């Protein structure tokens, strides 16, 4: 009994501390394939095989009831502590190569996700790419602003220079 309570407490804490959670069914995957998946997402997530009943209790304790219907069969959960897009991409790509892995759904930013929505999350560009694009847009905007500010100055300098030359030629 104490072991079950400890397991529920640990799972509840994982649900609460994760930026996202992805629920999968792994029926038919080998131990080596599961290890490969764990390693591929280890930078941003932990992947754990879970007991459905205990997970349902822990998820509900963490305020997540969207998994209640999905927790059947051999279940495993990716608890994301890093970039959810990166983990969703890796899981999607792994599932394409290993059709036994089925992404059932997820939970992200306080909202339940269907399997299709997890797929859409996987199709987003990574945080680094989006930040790079944003920085590029800022740089272009700043260059444009600098050009606008410098244009009147250079025009004024040319005008003053022309006036100076005209005054010198008049003397």
Report the CATH number at residue 35.
Answer: 3.30.70.1730
Residue 84 and residue 25 share a domain: yes
Instruction: Choose among 29, 65, 68: nearest CA to 47.
Output: 29
User: What's the domain count of the chain?
Assistant: 2
| Segment 68-86, tens digit of pLDDT | 888 888 999 999 998 888 8
**Which residues, in sequence order, are CB contacts of 133 under 8 Å at separation 6+?**
125
Identify the residue whose tokens are 């649900």: 15
Residue 152 and residue 93 share a domain: no
- Report helix, strand or coil for 139: helix
Chain Cα centroid distance, residue 48: 19
Residue 103 and residue 43 share a domain: yes
- Determine the structural domain holding residue 140 and report its residue range: 125-171
Q: Which of 88, 106, 124 is the last residue of a domain?
A: 124
Residue 36 and residue 111 share a domain: yes
| Segment 86-139, tens digit of pLDDT | 899 999 999 999 999 999 999 988 888 888 888 888 877 666 666 776 777 767
Residue 110 and residue 129 share a domain: no
**What gap in Å lies between CA 112 and CA 21, rounded to an integer?**
9
Residue 112 and residue 144 share a domain: no
Q: Is 20 exposed, middle or buried (0-12, 13-18, 19+ CB in 10 A)?
A: buried
Instruction: Look at the chain and count its residues.
Output: 171
| Segment 50-74, tens digit of pLDDT | 998 999 999 988 888 888 888 888 9
């Amino acid at each position: 009994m104490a072991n079950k309570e400890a397991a529920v407490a640990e799972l509840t804490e994982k649900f609460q501390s994760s930026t996202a959670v992805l629920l999968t069914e792994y029926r038919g995957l080998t131990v080596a394939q599961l290890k490969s998946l764990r390693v591929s997402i280890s930078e941003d997530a932990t992947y754990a095989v879970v007991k459905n009943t205990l997970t349902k209790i822990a998820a509900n304790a963490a305020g997540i009831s969207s998994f209640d219907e999905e927790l059947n069969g051999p279940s495993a959960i990716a608890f994301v502590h890093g970039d959810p897009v990166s983990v969703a991409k890796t899981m999607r790509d792994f599932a394409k190569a290993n059709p036994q892995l089925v992404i059932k759904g997820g939970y992200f930013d306080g909202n339940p996700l269907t399997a299709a929505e997890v797929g859409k999350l996987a199709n987003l560009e990574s945080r680094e790419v989006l930040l790079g694009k944003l920085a590029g847009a800022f740089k272009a905007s700043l260059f444009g602003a600098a050009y606008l500010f410098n244009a009147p100055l250079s025009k004024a300098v040319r005008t003053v220079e022309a006036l100076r030359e005209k005054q010198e030629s008049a003397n």
